[in-house]
Amino acid sequence: METVSRHYRIPLPALAAATLALVMVALAFVFFVAPNDAVLGFSQRIFYFHVSIAFTAYACFGAGAWKALRHLWKRDPRADLESYVAVHQGVIFGVLVLITGSIWAKYTWGHWWVWSEDELVLFLVLFLFYAAYFMLRFSVDPGPQRANFSAVYALFGVVLVPVSFLAIRLAKTFLHPVIFTRHGANIGGWMLVTYCLTQPAVLLLAYTLYRVELAGKSIDARLRELRLA
């Protein structure tokens, strides 16, 4: 526990300030600089958030699995909590993917939910999977067993992502003929610049939230430690 504060170099307030600044700039670009989409108009701007958030959620799940591996492999005492917090952030951003995706679907195709959108379906599967992760974690007493179970299940998650993606692709051939095709990837100029700003902004936001939650949970654990001693 003593090593927690020593391990991280960027102080939290500075990180938070940088995140706030970058998010502001990204928002300004999304709403004032990026041009309206030729076909979809103003509503297309949610794409910047949707894609950035989806990528961030993957990054969180990946980080959670990496920390899980550190726990199992190196017995890093901090890794269990870090893995949990990363997965937690991943689920928060995953829910945001479902919400933004749903809004996008409504404005683009007129339905709140479309099964033909691979990524949306994948995030639904992942949401169910990681919701079960929390059920598992809260159904075991704190200790090495809970840490091991969580870690192993988090590792299943990173294997499930590509397998599910492949499965959803395969399922399409017998479930739905492709009716909607995603609006072409012909973004360029200011659109690309805007995306290149929102993506790091959302990633940094996730990292800041991760650090805040981790700091809170570490202090909590420390306090309990002191009370016990």
Partner 1 sequence: MIRARKVGKRFGEKRALRGVDLDVAGGAFAVVTGPNGSGKTTLLRLCAGLALPTEGELEVDAPRASVGYLAHEPLVYRELSALENLDLYGRLYHVPERRERIGMLLERFGLWEVRHDRVVSYSRGMTQRLALCRVLLHGPELLVLDEPYTALDAAGAELLDAQLAELRGAQTVLVSTHDPDRVAPLATQHLALA
Partner 2 sequence: MTYAADVGALARKDLLLELRARDTLPAMLLFVVATFVVFHFALPAHSSQLAASGLLWVAILFTALLGLGRAFVPEREQRVLDGLVLAPCDRSAIWLAKSIATLAFLGAAELVALPVFALFFHGIGGATVAGVVLADLGICAVGTFLGAMAVVTRARDLLLPLLFLPLAIPIVVGGVGATVAGSPGRYLAFLALYDALFGVLCWASFEYVVTE
| Site residues (vs partner 2, CB under 8 A) | 72, 125-126, 128-129, 131-132, 135-136, 139-140, 143-145, 148-149, 151-153, 155-156, 159-160, 163-164, 166-168, 170-171, 173-174
Residue written as token pair 């099964």: 115
Closer to partner 1 by CB, 78 or 106: give it.
78
Binding residues for partner 1, rule CB under 8 A, total 6
Closer to partner 2 by CB, 143 or 189: give it.
143
Amino acid at 131: A
**Residues 52-91 vs partner 1: string with x where CB under 8 A?**
----------------------------------------
Query: Which residues, 99 to 158, sit near partner 1 by CB under 8 A?
Result: 141-144
CA 123, 124, 125, 126 torsion-angle sign? positive
Closest contact distance (angstroms) between CB of 162 and partner 2 is 9
Closest contact distance (angstroms) between CB of 146 and partner 1 is 8
Closest contact distance (angstroms) between CB of 140 and partner 2 is 5
228 binds, among partner 1, partner 2, none (CB under 5 to 8 A by kind): partner 1
End-to-end CA distance of the chain: give it in Å, rounded. Answer: 14
49 binds, among partner 1, partner 2, none (CB under 5 to 8 A by kind): none
Read out DSSP for 95-133? HHHHHHHHHHHHHHHS-S--TT-HHHHHHHHHHHHHHHH
28 binds, among partner 1, partner 2, none (CB under 5 to 8 A by kind): none
Residue 87's nearest CA partner among 135, 20, 139, 15 is 135
Please answer whether residues 19 and 10 qualify as being in contact, where contact means their C-beta atoms are separated by less than 8 angstroms. no
Count Cβ atoms below 10 Å from residue 204 Cβ, excluding itself. Answer: 20
Strand-pair partners of 5: none
132 binds, among partner 1, partner 2, none (CB under 5 to 8 A by kind): partner 2
The radius of gyration of the chain's CA atoms, rounded to the nearest angstrom, is 20
Strand-pair partners of 41: 37
DSSP secondary structure code for residue 77 in this structure: T
Closest contact distance (angstroms) between CB of 96 and partner 2 is 19
Residues that bind partner 1 (CB under 8 A): 141-144, 224, 228
